[in-house]
Amino acid sequence: MRRKIICAIDTGDLVTALDIVKRIGPFVGAFKIGHALTLPHGLDVIDRLQDVGAERIFLDLKFHDIPSSVALGVREAAKHGVWMTTLHISGGPAMLTAAVEEAHEAAQDVEPLLIGVSVLTSIDEHTLRDHLGVQRGIQEHMVALSKLGVECGLDGVVCSCHEVSAIRSAIGHSIIVTPGIRPTNYDSHDQKRIGDARTALSDGSDYLVIGRVLTDATDPHQALRDLGLLEDEAVR
């Protein structure tokens, strides 16, 4: 189970981030970082985290630009040996294909897994339709974009607990990463589509992204138990 858990580091403070890796490392299989750490510290922060025990880094920068620019971003991520990185599927087939080709060429030892983002978990039906002008419902839109991403060579996609089952049916054995994992009655913060860990796994998710529930916990082992992730086996 440990390998399925990704801890999200939601801080820009390097000392705090390093402490999170040291405290949480024994309980998780990877750490997710984004703009909060990479903008002030650069991609060299990846090496710092790896030095204190982060086995695998999920670089969540959600690349979305013209194909050549996204390819350059993937190249730099690959140079730092990231395990997984994200890009917006809405960038289109040319952008996705450029990213896939660059991942093949730039990888040092093992090429990074490219994971597509279709609809952010902070977006609800109202925002999607009335503000973004997408006339498909969230699940229909996510399924369509997820299929496009996999057809263009992506290794998998991101989706909330609510769409896992439908997207699993649509993309076969490709990877599904699920954020927004919360225990019952926990604050949803800025995410609209959240859910529980056991449902996500049973519906077909491969990896669970868990942030404050773990990083704010005084006892990470108990936090995982509260999520239902220690009912069947110890984290190991």
Cα(21)–Cα(219) distance, integer angstroms: 14
CB 114 within 8 Å of CB 103 = yes
Residue 87 above 50 pLDDT? yes
- Region of poorest pLDDT, from 43-52, 180-189, 198-207: 180-189
pLDDT, one tens digit per residue, over 185-222 is 655 555 555 678 889 999 999 999 999 999 999 999 99
Q: Is 121 exposed, middle or buried (0-12, 13-18, 19+ CB in 10 A)?
A: buried
* Residue with the larger pLDDT of the pair 196 and 126: 126
d(CA 22, CA 224) in angstroms, rounded, equals 17
What is residue 209's DSSP assignment?
E
Of 39-48, 174-183, 188-197, minimum mean pLDDT range: 188-197
Tell which phi-psi region holds residue 112, choosing left (phi > 0), alpha (psi between -120 and 50) or beta: beta
Collapse the DSSP code of 43 into the 3-class scheme (helix H, G, I; strand E, B; otherwise coil) and give the result.
coil
**pLDDT of amino acid 189:** 52
Residues that are catalytic: 62
Domain ranges of the chain: 58-226
DSSP per position, 144-205: HHHHHHHHTT-SEEE--GGGHHHHHHHHTTSEEEE--B--TT---TT-SS-B-HHHHHHHT-
**Residue 156 identity:** G
Residue 118 has pLDDT above 60, yes or no: yes
CATH of domain 58-226: 3.20.20.70
Distances (CA, A) of 9 to 16, 35, 36: 9, 10, 9
How far apart (Å, rounded) are the C-alpha atoms in residues 145 and 179? 18
Q: How confident is the model at residue 235 (pLDDT cuts 50, 70, 90)?
A: very low
Q: What is the mean pLDDT of the chain?
A: 92
**Mean pLDDT, rounded, for 68-73:** 98
Phi, psi of 156 (to 5 degrees): 175, -165
Is the predicted pLDDT of residue 173 greater than 80, yes or no? yes
> In this model, does residue 14 exceed pLDDT 70?
yes
> pLDDT grade, residue 236 (50/70/90)?
very low
Centre a 10 Å sphere on the Cβ of residue 173 and count the other Cβ atoms it contains.
Answer: 10
